[in-house]
Amino acid sequence: MELEPQTKQTLAEISALLVAHPIETPRLLLRPFRQDDLEDLYEYLSQKEQQRLAGNVRVDTLADAQACLDHILDPSHPPFCFAIVYKEAQKVVGNLSVGRYPCVDRDEAVKRLRGVSLSYVLNERYWRQGIMTELLRAVYPFLFEQAGLDYIQSGYFDFNEASAALHRKLGMKLWTEDEFEYEGQRIRTKEMILFREEYQNTENRPPVLPNP
């Protein structure tokens, strides 16, 4: 589905900000992908449990991963997928993508606001270490305070309990449910949202992590 000009402009602006201002936390760096990230990308995109929980395009070979990386690095569009680097190992352990889920355009009130949909993937070897919590607690303030967004939207498969817990921890609320087909099965998703006003509430606002 073709994005509306206003949506394209918002995504391009957010992309440019993330390129110009890589987000850093004590353990992590969020930056644009590079060609030499291929092996790290292949390592986590080929993990079967990660594929099942994230619903990614199947990546079974290095050539599959190269096709994904070529799409990420395609100069015909602004960067939309950013590498999560574990600084101690200088290793790409996942990615965060900025886009627009179709469910947004089915809500006329939200559709008129300035916001983005986020999706993220993490190497299975780095699960249960608080990495995505640490990263998103830096990304949310950046998007609300520096980029001036009205909302951040994200979703997860309804059987992904770890992702459900992460969304709740970050103050996101259930907004709607959706459904799509993945590898011949109908998959239900929980679509979550966090508005600027809710983010600004003291109990919901993730603490801003200091730059190392």
The predicted model gives 135-148 an average pLDDT of 95
Angle at 149 between CA 146 and CA 151, to 5 degrees: 135
Integer Cα distance of 158 and 190 in angstroms: 6
**Res 207: pLDDT:** 54
Rounded percentage of the chain residues whose pLDDT exceeds 90: 69
**Res 5: pLDDT:** 85
pLDDT tens digit sequence for 157-171? 888 899 999 999 999
pLDDT tens digit sequence for 7-46? 899 999 999 999 999 999 999 999 999 999 999 999 999 9
**Res 56: pLDDT:** 76
Integer Cα distance of 165 and 155 in angstroms: 12
The predicted model gives 201-211 an average pLDDT of 55
Does an H or E element contain 31, and which? strand 28-32
CATH topology of domain 5-199: Aminopeptidase (3.40.630)
**Res 205: pLDDT:** 60
What confidence tier does 208 reach under pLDDT thresholds 50, 70, 90? low
**Res 1: pLDDT:** 56
Integer Cα distance of 141 and 204 in angstroms: 12
Integer Cα distance of 134 and 26 in angstroms: 9
Instruction: Kindly state the tokens that stand for 86.
Output: 């574990």
Buried b vs exposed e over 13-26: b needs ≥16 C-beta within 10 Å? bbbebbeeeebbbe
Domain boundaries, the chain: 5-199
Which pTM was predicted? Answer: 0.91
The larger pLDDT score, comparing residue 178 to residue 117, is at: 117
What confidence tier does 105 reach under pLDDT thresholds 50, 70, 90? confident
What confidence tier does 129 reach under pLDDT thresholds 50, 70, 90? very high
The larger pLDDT score, comparing residue 183 to residue 122, is at: 122
Integer Cα distance of 56 and 134 in angstroms: 23
Alpha-carbon Rg of the chain, whole angstroms? 16
DSSP string covering 10-27: HHHHHHHHHHHS-EE-SS
